[in-house]
């Protein structure tokens, strides 16, 4: 039986390593997804974020990579915009579901939304809201669909000390007056995201 295992990371580079670890453990790249903000996109401008994505993919400044393309998940990374989150770098099945497409990275509004895509994949709704809010605030989400033999391995990778404890983060958000992800809220600026990451920086 296939399970959906999800991890939220405050640092994009930690999320990248998790993707690489999943693939090294035998999870097919078609079953892994990454959605988040690459800190190398410094101004919040779509071109900056896109250039960071292109650097990851090794394709120069182009944005025409296929979501979940061959050569490993990170080789297929591209740019899309999600309501309430803004421009993100993304690849994989979750990104495709969120934009309501079978594949292909695109700049535009995500028709399905991140919360809907996550809950459709079996993530509990209250957790899906925290994950979406985490991405909105500058985090990066990695999600894997795995069969039983790889479930514990995926949990170990996506639940290690680099990742966010979703219950603790929910409590932290609620202490600030947050209840659920609001896709009509304005996207965080780079300064907002930097300040948010600073709240949770590990010493």
3-state SS string for 32-91: EEEEECCCCCCCCCHHHHHHHHHHHHCCCCCCCCCCCCCCCHHHHCEEEEECCCEEEEEE
Among 48-52, 110-114, 193-197, where is mean pLDDT lowest? 48-52
Task: Report the chain's mean pLDDT, rounded to a whole number.
Answer: 78
Separation between Cα atoms, residue 128 and residue 122, nearest integer Å: 9
Percent of the chain's residues with pLDDT above 70: 72
Between 108 and 143, whose confidence is greater? Answer: 143
- Would the pLDDT of 49 be above 50? no
Where in the chain are the domains? 3-199
- Radius of gyration over alpha carbons of the chain, in Å? 15
Mean pLDDT of 15-19: 94
Tell me if the pTM is above 0.85: no
pLDDT interval class at 202 (50, 70, 90): low
172 half-sphere exposure, CB direction, 13 A CA radius: 14
Q: Give the pLDDT score at 75.
A: 64
């Amino acid at each position: 039986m296939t399970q959906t295992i999800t991890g939220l990371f405050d640092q994009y580079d930690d999320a990248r390593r998790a993707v690489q670890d999943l693939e090294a453990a035998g999870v097919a790249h078609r079953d892994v997804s990454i959605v988040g903000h690459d800190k190398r996109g410094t101004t919040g401008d779509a071109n900056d974020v896109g250039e960071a994505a292109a650097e990851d993919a090794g394709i120069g400044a182009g944005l025409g990579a296929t979501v979940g393309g061959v050569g490993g998940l990170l080789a297929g990374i591209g740019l899309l915009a999600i309501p309430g989150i803004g421009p993100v770098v993304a690849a994989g099945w979750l990104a495709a579901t969120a934009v309501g497409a079978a594949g292909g990275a695109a700049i535009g509004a995500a028709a399905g939304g991140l919360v809907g895509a996550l809950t459709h994949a079996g993530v509990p709704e209250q957790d899906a809201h925290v994950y979406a809010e985490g991405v909105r605030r500058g985090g990066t989400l990695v999600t894997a669909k795995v069969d039983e033999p790889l479930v514990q391995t995926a949990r170990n990778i996506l639940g290690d000390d680099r990742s966010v404890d979703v219950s603790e983060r929910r409590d932290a958000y609620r202490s600030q007056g947050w209840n659920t992800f609001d896709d009509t809220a304005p996207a965080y600026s780079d300064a907002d995201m930097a300040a948010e990451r600073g709240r949770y920086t590990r010493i």
